[in-house]
């Protein structure tokens, strides 16, 4: 049984901050649980259920970025949940596009330019999973209901905006197809 179904922690006043997520996160830290679960396998079940709930939302945010910034040339991919290589779980929502797939990083170590990522990682030694992008993040992943999933839209949008800006920084402002409209 998920913690959210046993305890109501709704903030009394609507806010743009993810108050419920932070309060539940603090409760988890205090009790050594994740949404009321103690065993790793039960926590992984909560993680997998949360991934199911956020998938349509994460995909829709990436699809919106594809239309707005990539002129519809991008591809959205969901990878995972899968082993993260150290006994944990990771799910990646990725947005790639032709210019990005052909590009190399020009600022920093030269390597292929990565797609835009929304990542949900549950490392083996962590008490509970976190949301991030490829370069920033670690927001609590407290998703056990459709309402919880909906509340992640702002974080997903911020991650995608940051990731798009990072791809500009790592290469050139012309990496996004929408930039051709500015020439």
Q: In a structure prediction context, what are the per-residue pLDDT tens digits for the chain, which is 183 residues long? A: 344 444 444 545 555 677 888 999 999 999 999 999 999 999 999 999 999 999 999 999 999 999 999 999 999 999 999 999 999 999 999 999 999 999 999 998 899 999 999 999 999 989 899 999 998 889 999 999 999 999 999 999 999 999 999 999 999 989 999 998 877
**Which stretches within 7-117 are classed as H helix?**
19-31, 40-70, 98-102
Q: Give the span between the Cα atoms of 120 and 132, in whole angstroms.
A: 6
Alpha-carbon span 34 to 163, nearest angstrom: 28
Query: What three-state secondary structure class fits 30?
Result: helix
Termini Cα distance of the chain: 55
For residue 10, tell me if it sits in a domain: no
Inside any domain, residue 143: yes
Q: Is 152 within the bounds of a domain?
A: yes
Whether residue 11 is contained in a domain is answered as no
Q: Is the peptide bond before 81 cis (omega within 30 degrees of 0)?
A: yes
Domain that holds residue 159: 19-182
Asked whether residue 147 is assigned to any structural domain, the reply reads yes
pLDDT of amino acid 2: 43
pLDDT of res. 26: 93
CA distance 41 to 43: 5
10 Å CB burial of residue 74 (0-12, 13-18, 19+) is buried
- Is residue 138 in a domain? yes
Can you list the alpha helix ranges (DSSP code H) found in the chain? 3-6, 19-31, 40-70, 98-102, 146-150, 153-170
Domain presence at residue 14: no
Instruction: Work out how many domains the chain is built from and give that number.
Output: 1
Is there a domain that residue 8 lies in?
no
């Amino acid at each position: 049984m998920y913690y959210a179904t046993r305890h109501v922690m709704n903030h009394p006043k609507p806010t743009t901050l993810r108050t419920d997520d932070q309060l539940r996160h603090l409760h988890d830290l205090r009790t050594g649980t994740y949404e009321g679960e103690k065993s790793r396998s039960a926590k992984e079940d909560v993680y997998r259920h949360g991934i199911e709930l956020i998938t349509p939302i994460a995909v829709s945010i990436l699809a919106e970025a594809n239309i707005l910034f990539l002129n519809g040339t991008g591809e959205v991919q969901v990878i995972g949940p899968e082993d993260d290589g150290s006994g944990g779980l990771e799910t990646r929502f990725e947005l790639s596009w032709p210019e990005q797939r052909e590009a190399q990083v020009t600022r920093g170590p030269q390597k292929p330019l990565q797609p835009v990522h929304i990542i949900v990682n549950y490392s083996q030694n962590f008490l509970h999973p976190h949301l991030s992008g490829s370069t920033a993040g670690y927001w609590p992943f407290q998703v056990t209901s459709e309402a919880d999933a909906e509340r992640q839209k702002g974080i997903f949008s911020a991650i995608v905006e940051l990731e798009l800006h990072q791809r500009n920084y790592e290469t050139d402002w012309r990496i996004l197809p929408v930039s051709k409209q500015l020439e």
